[in-house]
């Protein structure tokens, strides 16, 4: 099964860390990502730019309305996304529980919606042919 792990963290706290500490923590995360790669669990990931540069888009009375900042105004913001392959939800939990990123903030684990993914794949194939 494919899972999407959303890693949250506190940007203010993170920015307050000395650079050496930041590098060390990132190296730990990368090393564990390699562990996941070895077990063929790591399908990919994306790091997110600062939430301070986020814009949130919605439609208000038919017009585009843009607010600066992330969708939710919480201390912990989405920092990165990891795509994970695991046998089931408990397997995904045990894999992510060991990820050093969890020390920086919580992970939200969601299973992929394979029904919609199939539809997207079909559209892709149709588009490319």
Partner 1 sequence: MPQADPHNQHLAQLYQEQSAKVLATLVRLLGDFDLAEEAMHEAFSVALQAWKENGVPANPTAWLISTGRFKAIDNLRRKKRIAKLEPDIQQLITDLEEHNKHVNQQEIEDDQLRMIFTCCHPAINIQVQIPLTLREVCGLTTEEIASAYLVTPATMAQRIVRGKNKIKRTNIPFVIPQAADLPDRIDAVLSVIYLIFNEGYAASSGNLLCKVNLSNEAIRLCRLVLSLLPDSEVMGLLALMLLHESRREARVDEQGNIVLLAEQNRALWRPDLIAEGVALVQQALATQNIGTYTIQAAIASIHAQSTTSTDWQQIIELYDLLMKVDPSPVVELNRAVAVAMRSGPQAGLEIIEGISAQGKLNHYHKLHSTQGELLARIGDLPAAIKAFEMALSLVKQIPEKRYLQQKLTQHKKTINDKI
- Cα atoms in the Cβ-side hemisphere of radius 13 Å centred on 17: 14
Q: Is 93 in the site for partner 1 (CB under 8 A)?
A: yes
- Distance, C-alpha 27 to centroid of its chain: 17
Burial 69-107 (b: 16+ CB within 10 A, else e): ebeeeeebbbbbebebbbeeeeebeebbeebbbbebbeb
Residue among 16, 26, 55, 89 that touches partner 1 (CB under 8 A): 89
Q: What's the closest the beta carbon of residue 40 comes to partner 1, in angstroms?
A: 6
d(CA 114, CA 46): 20
Closest approach of Cβ 27 to partner 1, in Å? 9
1 contributes a contact to partner 1 by CB under 8 A: yes
The answer to the question of residue 16 lying near partner 1 (CB under 8 A) is no
The residues pairing with 46 across neighbouring beta strands, listed in sequence order, are 81
2 touches partner 1 (CB under 8 A): no
Check binding of 88 to partner 1 (CB under 8 A). Answer: yes
- Is there binding between residue 60 and partner 1 (CB under 8 A)? no
> Based on CB atoms, which residue is closest to partner 1, 55 or 89?
89
For 18, the enclosing helix (H) or strand (E) is none
**How far apart are alpha carbons 78 and 6 in whole angstroms?**
7
Q: Using the rule CB under 8 A, is 26 a contact of partner 1?
A: no
Interface with partner 1 (CB under 8 A): 1, 28, 31-32, 35, 38-40, 87-91, 93-95, 97-98, 111
């Amino acid at each position: 099964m494919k899972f999407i792990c959303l890693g949250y963290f506190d940007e203010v706290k993170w920015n307050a860390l000395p650079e050496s500490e930041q590098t060390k923590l990132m190296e730990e995360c990368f090393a564990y990502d390699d562990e996941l790669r070895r077990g063929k669990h790591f399908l990919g990931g994306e790091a997110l730019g600062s939430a301070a540069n986020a814009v949130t888009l919605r439609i208000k009375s038919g017009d585009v309305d843009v607010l600066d900042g992330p969708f939710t105004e919480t201390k912990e913001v989405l920092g990165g996304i990891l795509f994970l392959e695991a046998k089931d939800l408990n397997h995904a939990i045990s894999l992510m529980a060991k990820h050093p990123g969890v020390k920086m903030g919580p992970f939200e684990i969601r299973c992929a919606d394979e029904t919609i993914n199939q539809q997207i794949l079909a559209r892709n194939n149709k588009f490319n042919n």
